[in-house]
Structure 1
């Protein structure tokens, strides 16, 4: 092994071409982050690994300007062209953020590695967009895009983590039901609500926060909460959500996916998703189904929690010399011990997100409740000769605006 550099992992920054962003700009976030990195990196350039979803190519309103959707096939010409458009507009919108990173790269202070996630996997089949990304990050015409990357000097394996999420797992790079949820439910709902109540309805822009709700299957509960909090929108939101759900369930891609999930005498994933959506619809929303939604959410959450760390443990068991797995994807930071390998502790990390989050919780009455905040998480593996003798640090924080 050579002398190891400072190695940092971040993920799920979710830069978009049009949707609203954080209270703090991504450029400001990076500059504050770099102050800490600069102090600790030593003589060698630091290495930054983006563990997926730097771009959000799925949840762009531009998909509704044409007939193609992000789940229509990654190599379809119309999909590729729209990916190019989204990337171009996103880079222009976040020019200060990319300039901040690129300046560190060009000054020899930073190296960048890019692992794709489920929201930016469409880059893999869009060479023109890849070139745009390389120029924005590195000032070069190309850069490798990974689905998995290993750092043997640090004993770290990194991949996005959606492999442990059946809603978004895409082992062959194919479209997922998560892509359809993103475009046909989460993007479509605010658009259709605006058509009903008007673009100038007071506070209508707050409905765009639906894109910040995590985990994604908490969206129906968030819609329910918003309609209760804003009585004048109870009926419009109920009607629009019911219509959006109907259209989603009748979508050809969705129907095909639900059919493939079907298991006789079993509450399969398709049935769970359909039940969650049915519970959130018009009649049930009007009569209140908060506790049932909460119970079903917990059922989903319990089936998802632990899967990513379980997959991580299985991956480490196959590889000699590795003790750490870093994932993104869930937007919820985590550090979980996985026992010992060759006498050294093994650990699973989740790098959370750098975006706004509306996190679900439960109030005293059993109803879903949400907390909105800007999140920031990163994992740092320190270079040889670190003065404090550190191996790694895992940092996570939240900022709640007034």
Structure 2
């Protein structure tokens, strides 16, 4: 049995939270369940499987998303042989391993003990009273946020050895961790036994791969010089002026995919969570100034000379509020990214159609990660002389929070978040009664605070709508009514102004019974009730 997970993005704690250790405990339980199910054969016999190969398909340790880069002159696009470069990578790696030790203890336990499943009788039935261990071999493949473990050299071997020991890896540390499956013979043979071809998928993203996985890319510069610096600078300059909900929202900035939609997301966050137009303007000014500095980076300017698409001009339109399109900004960004990839949609299935292992029919399953969007796309079905071959593309999703843009109106800059966790399991020969694969994706919605609805498109002096009736001791009650200006539930003088004037927000083209966006600035009256 072959199991694939990717895009855990475990960090050193300087740039936000990562997934709970409980998710890794769940993984251990699910591996045991999968192994027991895989031990049932096509003819109904129960025969324990020999081994589980667990593939970590890139972006597991996130070395890029660390504020430690901002405390040194070293950068990922510098010289990997430079001592400052290596010491920064080593420091981030060591702290990431320390911060996530409880999570990695589950990998070490799997490497030491494997998973236990029922023994089998001589006539092929499970015996639940007796158990047998099934070994788990964990393989590490790199992506665009952990590509440093693909660098050659003795000092990087020592770093890989530290990672392998801490995570219980079967991957050989005295050579670069593989970026492609053919860079590890054991990994390649396991994939071929299961009719799988898997890679992280960054090779199809022109912002995160430039032909050599031993070198940096534009995505690294965006994260470090723009995203990391932006959060720190906003908190430093405007931390006392921004509402807590806006500050908390800005800490989610790395969970937006693709990254070029971050300014679209910031725009929506400020519209609903920051009532002061002057503060909103200042936040956007900080972003634009950092975007200008990013665009002037020599590493970025050099890309403008050889790219067939005017990438710097495109980045200006995508990143800067001052260059934004008046209509369809988000749609243009998405289309431009697809144009750079030479694709017609955000899905990577079109790249799977060009894989050699797909075209020569060696692989039934083509697997990528990177996009943080789990999916399964049928590619082809072949029939010849009683032989059937189904070929399918899978994306392994992520173990992160994901913010997805709403579809109601492309003009609106609203996103809905959910915590996600995905894994893919592939079975060989007659495992799992002959079934070839099993996938699982779990999503957990994010709790939103109830309470006040804030509109920023009309002043409070207008006649209040009957949508919300303020009651001092009761939560606000929403009644069907046309969309109009709303009063906050807390009393205030009639002359005070909680909403910005002349800041229009696109409204739905169909009438709705309740406000279309509602984000509180105060806790819900029910927040203190016992649960």
Output the TM-score relative to the length of structure 1.
0.88
Q: Which residue of 1 aligns with 2:9?
A: 14
Match of 1:221 among 240, 250, 264: 264
CA distance in 2, matches of 1:139, 1:9: 14
**Contact 1:184 1:248 (C-alpha < 8 Å) held by counterparts:** yes
Match of 1:147 in 2: 179
Q: Which residue of 1 aligns with 2:317?
A: 275
Aligned length: 385
Name the counterpart of 1:58.
Answer: 64
What is the correspondence of 1:362-381 to structure 2 with a 5 Å cutoff?
Answer: 362-364=407-409, 366-381=411-426
Measure the CA separation in 1 of the matches of 2:193 and 2:206. Answer: 32
Match of 1:291, SS? coil
How far apart in 2 are the matches of 1:254 and 1:48? 37
**8 Å Cα contact 1:116-1:160 kept in structure 2:** yes
- The aligned runs of 1:284-363 (5 Å cut-off) are 291-300=327-336, 302-303=338-339, 304=341, 305=345, 308-315=348-355, 316-317=357-358, 319=360, 321-340=362-381, 343-363=388-408
Q: How does 1:130-209 map to 2 (within 5 A)?
A: 130-138=160-168, 142-143=172-173, 145-149=177-181, 150=188, 151-173=191-213, 174-198=215-239, 202-203=243-244, 204-209=247-252
Structure 2: distance between partners of 1:47 and 1:200: 51
What's the offset of the Cα at 1:37? 1.6
1:237 aligns with 2:267: no
C-alpha separation between the residues in 1 aligned to 2:338 and 2:304?
21
How much does 1:369 deviate? 1.3
Distance 1:367 1:380, change over 3 A: same
> Secondary structure in 1 aligned to 2:328?
helix
CA distance in structure 1 between the aligned counterparts of 2:445 and 2:100, rounded to whole angstroms: 22
Q: Does 1:246 align with 2:292?
A: yes
Alpha-carbon separation, structure 2, partners of 1:380 and 1:277: 38
The Cα shift of 1:47 comes to: 1.1
Bigger shift: residues 337-346 or 62-71: 337-346
Q: SS of the residue aligned with 1:214? A: coil
Within 5 Å, give how 1:89-104 maps onto structure 2.
89-104=95-110
Question: 1:162 touches 1:168 (CA, 8 Å); kept in 2?
Answer: yes
Of structures 1 and 2, the one with the larger relative CO (CA 8 A, separation 6+) is 1
In structure 2, the CA distance between the partners of 1:340 and 1:306, relative to structure 1 (3 Å rule), is farther
1:147 Cα deviation (Å)?
1.0
**Gap runs ≥5 in structure 1:** 1-5
- Between 1:9-18 and 1:186-195, the stretch displaced more is 186-195
In 1, the alpha carbon distance for the partners of 2:358 and 2:147 equals: 27
Contact kept in structure 2, 1:60 and 1:187, CA below 8 Å = yes
Q: 2-side partners of 1:320 and 1:331: how far apart?
A: 27
The aligned residue for residue 3 of structure 1 is none
Residue 360 (structure 1) shift: 2.1
Identify, as 1 or 2, the structure richer in helix: 1
Please, which runs of 5 or more residues in structure 2 have no aligned partner? 40-47, 115-134, 182-187, 448-531
* Counterpart position of 1:395: 440
Partners in 2 of 1:140 and 1:385 — Cα distance? 26
Structure 1 pair 139/346, CA: closer, same or farther in 2 (3 Å)?
A: closer
Residues 97 and 369 of structure 1: CA distance in aligned 2, closer, same or farther (over 3 Å): same
Q: 2:93 aligns with which of 87, 94, 114?
A: 87
Q: How far apart in 2 are the matches of 1:307 and 1:364?
A: 21
Contact 1:118 1:170 in 2 (8 A): no
CA contact (8 A) 2:303 2:311 kept: no
Q: Which moved more, 1:98-107 or 1:231-240?
A: 231-240
Whether contact under 8 Å (2:28, 2:106) holds in the other structure is no
